[in-house]
Structure 1
Amino acid sequence: MAAGGVSCPPAQPCLDAIDWRRPWLAPLASMGQRVAARVQAGAGVADALNALIDEGAAPPPGVRFVPQAALPPGMAYEQFIHAEGRVPTRDNLHDFFNGLVWLHYPAAKRRFNRLQAGVIAAEGVGAVRGPLRDALTVFDENGAVLLAPPALHEALAARQWRRLCVELRPLWRQARLLLIGHALLEKLVSPRKQVTAHVYKAHAATESVVNVDGWLAAGLSAQRLAAKPFNPLPVLGVPGWWPENENFCFYDDSLVFRSARIA
Structure 2
Amino acid sequence: MDWSKPWFAHFAGRGQRWQRAALASHAALLAEMNADAADTRQTTGRGQRLAFIAQDELPPGAAYEAHIASTGRVPTRHNLHDFFNASMWFAFPRVKAALNARQSAAIDLLGVGPTRGGVRDTLTLFDENALLFACSDPALSAALRGFDWQTLLLQRRDAWGSSCEVRCFGHALLEKLITPFKGCTGHAWIVDVPSAYFEWDAAARDAWLDDAVSAALLTTDALTSRLFAPLPVLGIPGWWPDNETPAFYDDKSVFRSGRRADVKIGASKAG
CA contact (8 A) 1:132 1:222 kept: no
Match of 1:88 among 75, 79, 99: 75
- Is the 1:71–1:88 Cα contact (8 Å) retained in structure 2? yes
Alignment partner of 1:129 is 2:116: yes
What residue number does 1:41 align with? 24
**Residue deviations 1:124-154, cap 9 Å, x none?**
1112211110100000000011112222211
Residue 33 of structure 2 aligns with an amino acid whose one-letter code is: L
Q: Does 1:239 align with 2:237?
A: yes
The equivalent residue for 1:8 is: none
SS in 2 for 1:91: coil
Q: CA deviation at 1:224?
A: 4.2
Structure 1 residue 75: Cα displacement: 1.1
Per the alignment, residue 46 of structure 2 pairs with none
Give unpaired runs (5+ residues) of structure 1.
Answer: 1-17
* Aligned mates of 2:161, 2:21 — CA distance in 1: 35
* Alignment equivalent of 1:51, drawn from 17, 23, 35: 35
Pick the aligned partner of 2:214 from 213, 217, 232: 217
Aligned to 2:126: 139
CA shift in 2, pair 1:223/1:208, >3 Å = farther
TM-score normalized by structure 2? 0.84
Where structure 2 has 5 or more consecutive residues not aligned to the other structure, the ranges are 44-49, 198-204, 262-271
Instruction: Give the partner amino acid of 1:127.
Output: P
Counterpart in the other structure of 1:61: 42
Once the two structures are superposed, residues 39-61 of structure 1 have per-residue CA deviations (whole angstroms, 9 ceiling, x without a partner) of: 2233433222113334x4xx332
1:106–1:213 contact (8 Å) kept in structure 2: yes
CA distance in 1, matches of 2:243, 2:111: 45
For the Cα contact (< 8 Å) 1:147–1:206, is it kept in 2?
Answer: no
Aligned partner of residue 186 in structure 2, secondary structure: strand
Q: Secondary structure at the match of 1:75?
A: coil
Provide the C-alpha distance between the structure 1 equivalents of 2:185 and 2:120, rounded to a whole number of angstroms.
20
**Per-residue deviation, 1:111:** 0.4
Shift of 1:206: 4.6
User: What is the one-letter code of the residue matched to 1:165?
Assistant: L
**Per-residue deviation at 1:217?**
0.8
Alignment match, 1:20: 3
Q: 1: distance between equivalents of 2:35 and 2:210?
A: 22
What percentage of aligned pairs have identical amino acids? 43
Shift of the 244–198 alpha-carbon distance from structure 1 to 2, 3 Å rule, reads same
2:26·2:78 contact (CA, 8 Å) conserved in 1?
Answer: no
Counterpart AA for 2:154: V
1:87-126 alignment to 2 at 5 Å?
Answer: 87-126=74-113
Q: Which amino acid aligns with 2:236?
A: V
Kept after mapping to 1: 8 A contact 2:146/2:258: yes
RMSD: 1.7
Aligned length: 242
**1:171 pairs with 153, 159, 174, which one?**
159
Aligned-pair CA distance for 1:222: 4.1
**Counterpart among 167, 173, 176 of residue 187 in structure 1:** 176
